[in-house]
Structure 1
């Protein structure tokens, strides 16, 4: 069930819903979603629909491109600095950007950034609770979920105006400085390389040469062990993040499956009841069931539905 906002009128916006696979929209008037005014943001809510959700790499690329930043991991967003600058981009003057700490690893400065963000949310009437205690711990899942929500919020409010992010934050670096290439995507290019001397090292053969040779071999092998160990840890961390990301996707799909199955079950029971009474099932009741919404299903941007394509197996 795809929902989107209709055109603005004199009253509250209408929520237009479209059942996937059909071309019949239904308008639900008098919804709780109100028009955006000059001093109020368009609110969005988390959704279990995963069709429009971007991967963590896509989201990081979007942030780095938009803010001239160099984040390599979702966990780095725990400082809250990126969200502060995004609010300055979306709503100029809504946040005291000069008080934000962009290059910091201190938890109390993370909290300061989130206080600025919450103050900006309150000013722009953004109905979102920021889980500061979870975000500042730098865990992937918590930061990834908040980032997914913020991307939807950004898309609903961005007017396309130009913004010089680096200049607005005074040239401060935002991110680890490694970008996506240094974040550990598991590729060989991101792994440390061992340096091999161009010429063999000649050692004197006087005295206890065999013992010296053994020591030399041991010292020569140890530098290579650290890069291999670091690369292995990075690969494990990257795979763990992928598992968490896939688990979130599965949870969303399961919730969406149960949502639509419940609708079909209600229609089935309605048809069975009317069949016993000898009359056809009322169309309006079935439409009410199909277009009903519940918490957790948001209204995405209005898009022209793509033509149906044959699936190949």
Structure 2
């Protein structure tokens, strides 16, 4: 468990002795450069020429942590690197990660000596004309960064310096991309919600039309059922009176019976009317329902003929 629970001063002492640095705060590890060289002291394969020890902008910190993450992936280290927290250079986040890294270093470092300064001076082969400059580059540790700036000359410094505006854009590029993706997702959700509301309104209108049509059909059903019921009562009453011998076989009585049936068939009530004209084909049409302005509630529809053709005085 070496490294876990060690104090800030113990970790800084170990770090400065191993890497020949002069860090005075744990927060300075938030640049990621020291973490990269600790891993290099174990495996000796980290591209130290790409590690920026004089990094001052967040995008440069992210470059160092990309190198560190690549080394973790290469050696199959399952430790999660919380880059977003570490680059903020907060004490607690970097203290915990440095404690873990110290423990890992104790468990995996061999007994060979590690020349930290020599590794930091290493640079990739430069193109023709730039070899002398690459070989004479000083160490990037501690305050040597200012020496590098003075010796490289004004032209080189002007070509490699990052303007403050560019650095600010680099730091804000990730939040802007996240915000843009969130806004696009919000717009898509709003469009889907609007389409759903339109579909619901359309379905509600269709349901209202179906309810109105159902009410009309139920009223029509009750209307014609009432006619059939009146004819049924008239027929049954006439049949009973005939059995009792009240009526004779006079043809006029049959005509009167048929007249009563026709009166029932062509009787109307409010909201209904009968088409009296005959079509050209000579066939009599059924009564047509017209001018139904409002549909009553189906639960309240009760057929009551306008004139009951069956009275107490006579059957027909």
| TM-score normalised over the length of structure 1 | 0.39
Larger radius of gyration: 2
- The higher relative CO (CA closer than 8 Å, separation ≥ 6) is in 1
Higher helix proportion (structure 1 or 2): 2
